[in-house]
Structure 1
Amino acid sequence: MKNFFSTIVIIAVLVGGFIYLKKGSSSETTAADDLAQRDTTAEVQTKDIEFVVTVAGEITPAEQVSVRPEVNGLISELPVDVGDQVKKNDLLFALDDKNIRIEIEQKQTQIDAAKLQLEKVRRIFENNRKLFEDNLVAKEEYENSQTDYSLAQNNIERAQKDLDLAMERLEKTQILAPFDCTILTRPVSSGQAVSGSGGFNSGTEVLTIADLTRMIINAHVNQADVSRLSAGLKVDIQVEAIPGLVVQGQVERIAPQATILNGIKGFAARILLTEIDPRIQPGMTANIKIPVQSAAEVVAVPLGAVFTEYNETLKKQERYVYVQQQERFQRRLIQIGVADYFFAEILSGLNPGEVVSLEMPPQEAIDELAGEAGLASNQS
């Protein structure tokens, strides 16, 4: 029985090994076929290269305000609705001012009465002062009249301040547009009670207004790309909700400190739309293409053809290509200029029409390095 199980195990191992070898042979054949079908060389060509940084952001008005009253009250007038366009100093809404006007009348009456009282005690004080100078009235009576006169003056000042405050509150019942704007939201209705902003109370939001003639995009630029950006740089903006629409914009400013968004460290950038299409609305998503570097009609190769190696003598990184020469490859020193995600501009070392390898050739197929002496002498 023991020999029987041993025989079964041996057969299983042999069969498994055969299947594994067959599958391995098939995988190697497939990999070889894929390698044979893949391009391993590329021709040096002349083309335009443009390095573009692409970021996404949300379109928002450059100036947007949440309108809240400064005093408590009932909304008596609300002549605007969502979508309305309003001019600067037009009425946005008004609060019922009946109680404040009654208070103002009462304060004015108090001031008038206080003025009469002031005039009365002033005459008494002036009279007692003359009598006191002639020793015809006691010092205590003179000082009492002087105190009454000072109190009457203070009463008028206090009443005037109360009146001024009531007048200010009356002015705050009329809320006017601070600039030409469009009504974005109106969460309340006429007749509704609202609270004023002040202290720890933010107040009731009655309207949200914005200037839709100036729109911006707040974008987040990866820290690897931000060094290539600067204020004033022109950009192309594609609005996702409007297929085919491309408008112009400009980098307005870049934050001086990095932030982390969705786990990626970068810098906040404010993009101003210098061209406004009436179909663009706040909240739409936009893709911003920022052309950082460009070169027209230059000698170029795919990035896959460029190899980098550290030169111990010159103490710097140098770039090479492997130029095909029949069945062999010549390693040649190059200098590159503008590069995008696919191609690099060749400043020296190659000519259009030459063929370069896209992968490292076998060591035995590589000829000695060419071009190093010339470049080194130019840099010295």
Structure 2
Amino acid sequence: MKKVIIFGGIAVALIAVLIWFGKKNSASPIEYKTEKAFKATIIKKSVATGKVTPLEEVEIKPQIAGIIDKIVVEEGAIVKTGDLLATVRVVPNEQSLTSAKGRINSVQIQLNNTKIQYDRNKKLFDKGVISRQEFESLELSYNQAKNDLRNAQNDYQIIKKGSAGSSGANTNIRATTSGMVVEIPVKKGYQVVETNGFSAGTTIATIADMTKMIFEGKVDESEVGKLVKGTEIEISLGAIENKKFPAVLNFIAPKGTEEAGAVQFKIKADVSLDDEHFIRAGYSANAEIVLERKDSVLSIKESLLQFDRKTELPYVEIKNAEGTFDKKDVKLGTSDGVNVEILEGVTKDDDIKIWNQTSKEEDKKDNI
């Protein structure tokens, strides 16, 4: 009796399995949505990040060391060539001052001795005792001694006051170009160093022409070969929303620099400004550069592409007359990240499988 029950249970289970497989095999195949190729204009762009800076920017440096005594302009002020920016009070070096004073004493002694000789020989020349040539030689030495004394005194005044004149102890720092004062990195009381052959000197102010701005950015080595001087580009500024400024590419660096494992090349472009917006130096900016443009070419959405696991070559699935799909290799052209140009493999009449999206009927069945 037990054996009958066991074999009966096995038979019922087997029949249930066969019924389930029958229903599974009789179910209709999954139906996928399709799309057709279309004509589109594909524009491939590159985005370079950087900033906008003045085309002409001049750093004003002192010609003598000292301490900032007064600053007479503020950042943002418009100045012209020759306008006073600041004054520097000279703090003389004691060793140099002592040396200059000692040179004055030495030259004064030489002058006194030469004057005695000159006065004595002038009397002899007036009496006709010595020749004119001999007297003129002594006169030349006397005049040279007087000139040496004046030079030594001037050197002493320059070391002590910063000027050989009688203008006082302040040295005036003036603008060497016209424009806007964009930066004053010093304050009253700061010690500054003059420009010379051993030092670049301390920058007292930076003056720039804010009506002429350029974009400076970097592009990757994979895209720099497609850039051409004179190309029109668009500049977007982080500080100004929904506004693009036209620019013209005028410089592409002949040498790149490695950054984070990638080689970057510097580019520059002249930016066209308008009267509505004031562009400040140092604004962060992005430049949109058209690398390639294809007008009215046969295209499909990139989402329709599939890639062979072994060859990694692209293909699509085309619907045939029986309602199934055939694999078709394709040759691709330009892509803008959304649409891609089709060179070979697909016609405008082909129904291309949307491989990751099924029909609404199948979606309803899955939900049930």
Give the TM-score, by structure 1 length: 0.60
- Matched position secondary structure for 2:210: strand
Is the aligned partner of 1:344 residue 2:335? no
Q: Which moved more, 1:271-280 or 1:246-255?
A: 271-280
Call closer, same or farther: CA 1:133–1:321 in 2, change over 3 Å.
same
Asked if structure 2 preserves the Cα contact closer than 8 Å seen for 1:230 and 1:253, the reply is no
1:329 to 326, 330, 333: 326
| Normalised TM-score (structure 2) | 0.62
CA apart distance, 1:122: 11
Q: Which residue number in structure 2 is paired with residue 305 of structure 1?
A: 305
Matching residue within 350, 360, 366 for 1:354: 350
Q: 1:197-218: per-residue Cα shift (whole Å, max 9, x none)?
A: 2454544432233222222232
Equivalent position SS for 1:178 = coil
Matches of 2:149 and 2:259, distance apart in 1: 55
Structure 1 residue matching 2:56: 3-state secondary structure: strand
Distance 1:98 1:258, change over 3 A: closer
Code of the aligned partner of 2:350: E
Q: Deviations over 1:131-183 (max 9, x none)?
A: 7789xx9xxxx59x84773574376378459859959x659933332333222
CA offsets 1:199-248 (integer angstroms, 9 cap, x no match): 54544432233222222232121111111112222111111222212111
Cα offset, 1:80, TM superposition: 0.9
Q: More displaced, 264-273 or 72-81? A: 72-81
How far is 1:44 from its partner?
A: 0.6
Offset at residue 333 of structure 1 (A): 6.3
Cα distance in structure 2, aligned partners of 1:216 and 1:64 = 12
| 8 Å CA contact retained: 1:323, 1:332 | no
Change (3 A) 1:175 1:133: closer
Separation (CA, whole Å) in 1 of partners of 2:283 and 2:152: 50
Match of 1:196 in 2: 193
Q: Is the 8 A contact 2:60 2:176 kept in 1?
A: no
1:1-26 Cα distance to aligned partner (Å, 9 max, x none): xxxxxxxxxxxxxxxxxxxxxxxxxx
Higher share in helix: 1
> Offset of 1:124 from its aligned partner?
4.9
Q: 2:147: which partner in 1?
A: 156
Shift of 1:289: 1.1
- SS for the counterpart of 1:153 is helix
Structure 1, 177-186 or 292-301: larger mean CA deviation: 177-186
Shift of 1:331: 3.6
Counterpart CA distance in 1 for 2:142 and 2:315 is 96
Cα deviations across residues 243-288 of structure 1 (Å, max 9, x unaligned)? 2121112222121112123443211222332235634322322122
Cα shift readout 1:86-116 (whole Å, capped 9, x = no counterpart): 22332222335899xxx9xxx9xx99x97xx
Q: Distance in 1 between matches of 2:70 and 2:283?
A: 32
Distance in 2 (CA, whole Å) between partners of 1:95 and 1:76 is 5
Asked if 2 retains the 8 angstrom alpha-carbon contact of 1:42 and 1:302, the reply is no
Runs of at least 5 residues in structure 1 that lack an aligned partner in the other structure: 1-35, 309-317, 360-380
Aligned to 2:250: 252
What is the rounded CA distance, in whole Å, between the counterparts of 1:252 and 1:209 in structure 2? 23
> 2-side partners of 1:319 and 1:262: how far apart?
31
Q: 1:38 to 1:177 in 2, by over 3 A?
A: farther
The aligned amino acid for 2:300 is: V
| Counterpart for residue 20 of structure 1 | none
Task: Tell me how far apart the structure 1 counterparts of residues 129 and 315 of structure 2 sit (CA, whole Å).
Answer: 113
After superposition, residues 314-325 of structure 1 pair within 5 angstroms as 323-325=318-320
Partner AA of 2:339 in structure 1: F
Measure the CA separation in 2 of the matches of 1:123 and 1:319: 110
Alignment partner of 1:51: what SS?
Answer: strand
Q: CA RMSD in A?
A: 4.9
Distance in 1 of aligned mates of 2:125 and 2:240: 86
Helix, strand or coil: the match of 1:265? Answer: strand
**Given that residues 249 and 275 in structure 1 are in contact (C-alpha distance below 8 angstroms), is that contact kept between their aligned partners in structure 2?**
no
In the alignment, which residue of structure 1 is the partner of 2:231? Answer: 233
Q: Note the C-alpha offset of 1:47.
A: 1.2
- Counterparts of 1:347 and 1:131, CA distance in 2: 113
User: How far is 1:52 from its partner?
Assistant: 0.5
Number of residues of Structure 1 aligned to a counterpart in Structure 2: 297
Aligned to 1:280: 279
Q: Is the 8 A contact 2:35 2:352 kept in 1?
A: yes
Paired residues for 1:129-168 under 5 Å: 146=137, 149-150=140-141, 152-153=143-144, 156=147, 159=150
